[in-house]
């Protein structure tokens, strides 16, 4: 059984291991070939859905935690 770890960083982004396929609201798929992908949690990123560090500028506060997904 494999495990995928998603990290929500304190006052920061959500980090997901890559590579991964991002499917937008229109069903368009985009292959992201990075080892780790950071997604915006604060809503202020100009690169949504990706994090651009805007959370630091706006003083975003959010808890840190880890989600572990088990896959067959």
User: Over the stretch 27-61, which tens digit does the pLDDT of each residue have?
Assistant: 999 999 999 999 999 999 999 999 999 999 999 99
Sketch the domain layout of the chain as residue ranges. 2-71
DSSP string, the chain: -EEEEEEE-TTS-EEEESSEEEE-TT--EEEE--SEEEE-SSS--TTTTB--SHHHHHT-----EEEEEEE-
Residue located via tokens 């506060």: 61
pLDDT surpasses 90 at 25:
yes
pLDDT at 71 over 90: no
Topology classification of domain 2-71: Ribosomal Protein L9; domain 1 (3.40.5)
């Amino acid at each position: 059984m494999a495990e995928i770890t998603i990290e929500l960083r304190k006052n920061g982004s959500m980090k997901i291991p890559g590579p991964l396929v991002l499917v937008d609201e229109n069903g368009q798929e985009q292959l992201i070939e990075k080892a780790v992908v950071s997604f915006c949690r604060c809503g202020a990123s100009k690169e949504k859905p990706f994090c651009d560090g805007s959370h630091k500028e706006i003083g975003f506060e959010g808890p840190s935690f880890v989600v572990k997904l088990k896959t067959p």
